[in-house]
């Protein structure tokens, strides 16, 4: 079948009911012709930023207005680079300037050194305010309201417009964004629902560990591409959670790789290779199709096509016996009958979650393994905790997850040192006072917690890797400001897949620990000459 095509309604199986509901949904919304096209679309050292949401701290944020002191200084007096008429400081981000688009985080650190905890900057026709003080970050998030806005991704929005696709949660705003967000978050942000993914995520994590063992050479060094295998692990995990199907990415005896798997991994890599140039550079693609734009367009077409085929497989797999490791209801099954969503909306929700799941989880896990290997004492403490909870080689169950406080603290601390996202932004429809300056509406406010996590005033002893700083029952260490390190964001625009991502990381890191022994002289993971022994 093809997702969006006319679907037989005479079936009485679970899959038949789902297909019948989707068919009725299409007819009711008169989407026949449009819906039928779905599925046929031809850190280095010094980066900081950790979590405080699911891994230990509450993430509730109020929406009341922030007090506006009468003594606040006008916006014009806020420090920042002077820039040139019409283009501002745009030249600073070209080959003629001091900053590189590939290392944009370096500009954040330099601006902090130049201007302090708040600064403004005009780049082209856009005005930015950069905030580093966690008190300002808290004020901002408590002021944003239930429908926060952010700077849209122009290149991504343009390619989706040209392909005739939904803007998705990333680029939508207002009521449409709320529909998409709430349809997915009722499943993904519910702790009980996410805990149901633990059995299958544990099985996938075990497959990753087994493949790492099988890939060792006689010199005990891995003979496989760690980055590639982590991307396969994260793809297998997120597809299993959202669609309830297994791709077999980590099977050691597999000869022919799955085409959809190859397409997703290849297109996501091409996306990341081309998007920064299009998004941060001059929008030449609006004038003519540059080489980078053509590659970006092909990547999006390839991605959407592969994701649509996977959705078809997920719907069809309900006609077969159900995998006992899978949750009773997948995310797709949860959202497919939502009347407010079009089939295009459903495809875009799934594709965005899969894409984000591949890249962010793989990146985060890479540096969790690195920090664990770099700090043998931390590695040993985590190993002891896991062995006490599940034994050597035991299953990481829902109950075990609750007791792995030190492992979760290690992940928090790794996020502080190596954040997945170095910047977040918000656009308010009202004036706000930050660090004593009045910031007018419609200014792009950048939250640069990448830098905040390295400032001793906000995070004591930032140069030390200290998971203990996140343990509530350890009074020996001063605690960071709660808004200094928020890798998943805060409020209704926070990362919708944060609970799933955190569970993936905890399970795999614990699985590595529970199958390893520091006394043995075998290497499971070797990164930059640092080892996790097995």
Closest by Cα among 138, 116, 142 to 129:
116
H helices present in 125-225, as ranges? 134-143, 154-163, 168-171, 174-188, 191-195, 198-214
Q: Is 127 annotated as a binding residue?
A: no
Residues contacting 42, CB < 8 A, separation 6+: 301, 305
Please state, in angstroms and as integers, the Cα–Cα distance from residue 152 to each residue in 40, 156, 157, 277, 279, following that order: 26, 9, 8, 15, 10
258 burial class (0-12, 13-18, 19+ CB within 10 angstroms)? Answer: middle
Answer for the pair 62, 142: CB distance below 8 angstroms, yes or no.
Answer: yes
What whole-number distance in Å separates Cα of residue 286 and Cα of residue 293?
A: 9
* Cross-strand bridge partners of residue 24: none
368: its two tokens: 């969790």
Largest CA distance in the chain: 71
Residues contacting 233, CB < 8 A, separation 6+: 204, 205, 207, 208, 249, 250, 361, 362, 365, 508
Residues contacting 415, CB < 8 A, separation 6+: 49, 50, 51, 364, 485, 487
What whole-number distance in Å separates Cα of residue 519 and Cα of residue 392?
A: 14
DSSP letters, 116-139, are -SEEEEEETTEEEEEE--HHHHHH
394 burial class (0-12, 13-18, 19+ CB within 10 angstroms)? Answer: middle
Binding-site residue numbers are 495
Q: Please state the residue numbers annotated as binding site for heme.
A: 495
């Amino acid at each position: 079948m093809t997702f969006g095509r006319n679907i037989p309604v005479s079936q009485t199986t679970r899959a038949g009911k789902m297909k019948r509901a989707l068919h009725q949904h299409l007819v009711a919304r008169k989407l026949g012709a449009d819906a039928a096209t779905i599925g046929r679309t031809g850190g280095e050292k010094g980066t900081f930023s950790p979590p405080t949401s699911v891994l230990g701290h509450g993430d509730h944020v109020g929406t009341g207005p922030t007090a506006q002191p009468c003594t606040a200084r006008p916006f014009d007096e806020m420090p920042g680079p002077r820039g040139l008429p019409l283009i501002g400081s745009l030249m600073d981000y070209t080959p003629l300037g001091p900053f590189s688009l590939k290392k944009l985080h370096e500009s954040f650190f330099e601006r902090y050194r130049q201007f302090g905890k708040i600064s403004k900057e005009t780049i082209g026709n856009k005005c930015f305010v950069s905030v580093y003080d966690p008190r300002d970050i808290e004020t901002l998030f408590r002021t944003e309201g239930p429908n926060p806005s952010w700077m849209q991704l122009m290149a991504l929005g343009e390619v989706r417009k040209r392909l005739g696709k939904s803007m998705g949660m990333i680029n939508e705003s207002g009521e449409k964004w709320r529909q998409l967000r709430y349809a997915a978050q009722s499943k993904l942000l519910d702790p009980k629902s996410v805990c149901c993914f633990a059995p299958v995520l544990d099985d996938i994590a075990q497959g990753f560990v087994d493949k790492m063992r099988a890939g060792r050479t006689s010199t005990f060094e891995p003979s496989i591409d760690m980055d590639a295998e982590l991307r396969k692990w994260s793809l297998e995990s997120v597809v299993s959670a959202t669609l309830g199907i297994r791709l077999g990415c980590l099977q050691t005896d597999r000869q022919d790789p799955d085409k959809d798997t190859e397409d997703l991994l290849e297109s996501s890599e091409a996306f990341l290779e081309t998007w920064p140039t299009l998004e941060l550079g001059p929008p030449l693609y609006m004038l003519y199709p540059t080489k980078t734009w053509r590659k970006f367009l092909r990547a999006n077409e390839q991605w959407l096509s592969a994701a649509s085929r996977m959705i078809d497989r997920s719907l069809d797999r309900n006609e077969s016996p159900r995998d006992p490791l899978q949750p009773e209801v997948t995310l797709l099954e949860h959202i497919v009958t939502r009347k407010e969503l079009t089939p295009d909306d459903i495809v875009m929700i799934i594709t965005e979650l899969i894409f984000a799941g591949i890249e962010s989880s793989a990146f985060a896990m890479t540096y969790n393994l690195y920090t664990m290997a770099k700090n043998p004492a931390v590695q040993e403490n985590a190993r002891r905790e896991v062995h006490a909870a599940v034994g050597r080689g035991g299953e990481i169950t829902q109950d075990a997850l609750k007791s792995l406080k030190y492992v979760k603290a290690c992940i928090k601390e790794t996020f502080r040192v190596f954040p997945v996202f170095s910047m977040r932004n918000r656009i308010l429809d009202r004036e706000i006072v930050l660090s004593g300056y009045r910031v007018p509406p419609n200014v792009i406010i950048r939250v640069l917690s990448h830098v905040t996590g390295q400032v001793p005033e906000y995070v004591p002893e930032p140069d030390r890797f200290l998971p203990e700083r996140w343990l509530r029952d350890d009074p020996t260490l001063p605690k960071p400001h709660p808004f200094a390190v928020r890798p998943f964001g805060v409020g209704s625009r926070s990362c919708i897949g944060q609970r799933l991502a955190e569970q993936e990381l905890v399970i795999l890191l614990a699985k590595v620990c529970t199958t390893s022994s520091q006394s043995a002289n075998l290497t499971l993971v070797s990164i930059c000459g640092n080892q996790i022994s097995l």
